[in-house]
Amino acid sequence: MLDRLKAGWSPEQVSGRLALEAGEPVISHESIYRFIYAEITRTNDHAWRHYLPRGKSKRGWRGRKGGSAARFIQQRVSIHDRPEEIATRLTPGHWEADLMLFRLYGQAILTLLERQSRLILAVRPPNKQADGIATFIDQILRPLPEGLRRSITFDNGTEFARHYQLHTLGIDTFFCDTHAPWQKGAVENAIGRMRRAIPRKTDLATLPDERFNAIVSLYNNTPRKCLDFKTPAELFCSQLLHFKCESISRPSAG
C-alpha cells in the first residue's frame, strides 16, 4: 500500500484498485487517510505528508485566479455553443488543453487531456508563442485516428490564439468563459496532480526527458475512481484499438 501511495496514488485510488484486484473491499480510503494523519501526529514527522496526493498535511482545496484576453482571439467559439455530447464524456476524442506554468519566465508544459479516458499527452515547448503552440498540438494529435481528435476546449490565453489552424485536422475548438477555468476542470485537475512531481519552482531546463516522460507515464498508469479504477492508459488504448480495428475491417472504396 505504501509503495503505491509513494508512487503518487491517492488513498482513494489505492483503495479502489485493491478492491478491483481482490474482487471485494480491502480497506477504505478514509482508513488510509486516518492512518497517514495518525502517523504524522504520532511521529511529528511531516515526511508522511508525501504519501498524500497533494503532499499536504491537511485535506482541502485552494482556488485559482487568472486573467483573460478573449477579445484578441479570432474565430473564438464559446463553450456554450459546444455540443452537449462533449459534456457527457460518452464519446471519445474530445480534449482539453492548458499550459502548466512555472516560476521561470517562458517555461511551460503544454498538456492535453482526453476527456473520456483522462489520458494526458504533454510536451515542453520552447516558448508560449501561439503559432508554436498550435504546431505542437497538431503534431501531437495528427497521428491519432479521426475519432480520437474531434474537439479541444481551451481557456482564453493568447497562446491558443492560433487554434483555428487545427480546423484542418477536423478538430472543433471551443473556449471557456473568462475567469472560468473550472469549465475545463479535467485538465486543471491533471495539472494539479502533476504539480506533486513537478512543482512550480522547478527549472524545466534541469528536468531530464527520461524523468519528464516517467512522470507523464506514472499519471497515465495510475487508476482513477471515475474510471472504475482502470487507468487512463488502459481506457485510451482500448479506444485506440477500437478505431484501428474499425479502420482495418472497413471495406475499401471501389
* Alpha-carbon separation of residue 194 from 8, 53, 133, 197, 239 (angstroms): 9, 10, 20, 6, 24
Q: Where are the domains of the chain?
A: 2-51, 70-245
Nearest-angstrom CA–CA distance, 182 and 3: 32
pLDDT digits (tens, 9 = 90+) for 73-129: 999 999 999 999 999 999 999 999 999 999 998 899 999 999 999 999 999 999 999
Backbone angles phi, psi at 97, to 5 degrees: -130, 145
Nearest-angstrom CA–CA distance, 27 and 31: 7
pLDDT for 47: 67
Please report which confidence band the pLDDT of residue 216 belongs to, taking 50, 70 and 90 as the band edges. very high
CATH class of 70-245: alpha beta
* Alpha-carbon separation of residue 61 from 34, 54, 109 (angstroms): 18, 10, 23
Question: How many residues in the chain?
Answer: 254
Give the closest residue to 49 by CA, choosing from 30, 63, 33.
33
